[in-house]
Amino acid sequence: MEPQKNGTPNAVTMANETPKKVCVTGGTGFLGSWMIKRLLEDGYSVNATVRLDPERKRDISYITNLPGAAERLRVFDADLDKPEMFAPAVEGCVGVFHTAHPLDFAEKESEEVKLKRVTAAMKGILQTCADSKTVRRVVYTASISSAAFDPANTGLIDEDSWTDVELVRSLKAFGGHYIVTKAVTEKAAIELAAELGLDFVSVIPTWITGPFICPNFPESVYVSMALILGDKGHYQHLKESSLVHVDDVARAHIHLFEYPEAKGRYIVAAEQFEIGELSDFLSVKYPQYKMPSPDSWKDVAAVKFSGLSTKKLEATGFKYENGLGEMFDGAIKSCKERGFIN
């Protein structure tokens, strides 16, 4: 398969050919649902897994009504606690995009429970991929939090950086369980994929924002909107930070699936800034939203998600298509449509 060039979708089907079939886990989530949208636009057939809903009470029409879904989308129930349930969705697929991960910043579950569940699910899914004999590459959605908290960093975070989980545990920071789980799971996945002989690529996005088709307010979009929402609790995450548009993240996943030489980890981060710069940008572009005073973040300790290198991804020919304007235009539009903001 030829690599995607300059963000242009490949023709993944030819005359009289069956569309390439891939699996997306976590299909109802923010990124998962957008991945399905983008894959259908690019001509793929998609098997999507969703959380168990035996009585079909949950409305998932936002994915089943997407253009092309009637012909090329199949939805499968799956549960991270029962990884064997993913087998029917993986069957016959040439690729798997594993985006499913419990996003529990409120930490309703203990770290131990969450870590056991997520790593067991990852191991089961990778074993299923290896057993399928059809999956040629697994693309895993990691997080910049699995690389950013590395005491060995000297100002630059790249694909060789790994979060020190003991450091995160000692800090007892917001979202600490999530950070530890992502870091441990990614490392375990890389090691297991190597043991199974699976072609495995890890995508490491920073805070993802932009438009969304899921009905809930995605946590990472909420964080990106903290200055507009006046949520001081999240100023720490924007003080020295970075953002990337959801469509660029989806495109990066597909690009790395299609790019023959893709290998290892890839950081995805389009825009890096300090909070004052973001405030100035928002105040000029969206004057209807009053920005807080700089005094409100002056003494806030930064959770630093900046100093990121994306050279490895860009060396594959990938190009970001969206800047801060597109990110916030899309996020604000989606939030207004759902009544989250005025």
What does residue 123 show for φ and ψ, rounded to 5 degrees?
A: -60, -40
Specify if 235 maps to a domain: no
Specify if 185 maps to a domain: yes
The structure tokens listed for 65 are 């009504």
Specify if 260 maps to a domain: yes
Specify if 337 maps to a domain: no
Specify if 168 maps to a domain: yes
Pick from 148, 144, 145, 140: which is nearest to 188 by CA?
A: 140
Tell me which long-range contacts 159-167 makes (C-beta under 8 A, separation of at least 24): 159/204, 159/264, 159/265, 159/266, 159/267, 159/309, 159/312, 162/187
Indicate the helix (H) or strand (E) that contains 247: helix 246-258
CA 217 to chain centre: 15
Specify if 299 maps to a domain: no
pLDDT of residue 1: 40
The structure tokens listed for 204 are 């490491």
Specify if 204 maps to a domain: yes
Helix-helix angle 30-41:246-258, to 10 degrees: 60
In this predicted model, what pLDDT tens digit does every residue of 68-93 receive, in sequence order? Answer: 999 999 999 988 788 889 999 999 99
| Residues forming a β-bridge with 203 | 141, 266
Amino acid at site 192:
L
d(CA 7, CA 19): 19
Pick from 208, 188, 275: which is nearest to 35 by CA?
A: 208
3-state secondary structure of 70: helix
pLDDT of residue 10: 44
State the total domains in the chain: 1
d(CA 101, CA 108): 14
Pick from 263, 219, 185, 272: which is nearest to 31 by CA?
A: 219
For residue 56, what are the domain limits? 21-209+243-269+308-314
How far are the Cα atoms of 155, 222, 270 from residue 323, in angstroms, in the given order?
Answer: 23, 18, 7
Specify if 340 maps to a domain: no
Give DSSP secondary structure letters for 102-157: ---TT--S-HHHHHHHHHHHHHHHHHHHHHHS---EEEEE--GGGTS--TT-SS-B
pLDDT of residue 170: 84
Local confidence pLDDT in tens for the 342 residues of the chain: 433 333 333 434 433 356 799 999 999 999 999 999 999 999 999 999 998 776 667 899 999 999 999 999 999 998 878 888 999 999 999 999 999 865 554 556 677 777 887 888 889 999 999 999 999 999 999 999 999 988 877 678 999 999 998 888 887 766 777 888 889 999 999 999 999 999 999 999 999 999 999 999 999 999 999 999 999 999 999 999 999 999 999 999 999 999 999 999 999 999 999 999 999 999 999 999 999 999 999 999 988 898 999 999 999 999 999 999 999 999 999 999 999 998
3-state secondary structure of 224: helix
Pick from 99, 91, 201, 195: which is nearest to 141 by CA?
A: 99
3-state secondary structure of 181: helix
pLDDT of residue 109: 67
122: domain CATH number? 3.40.50.720
The pTM of the full predicted model, rounded to 2 decimals, is 0.91
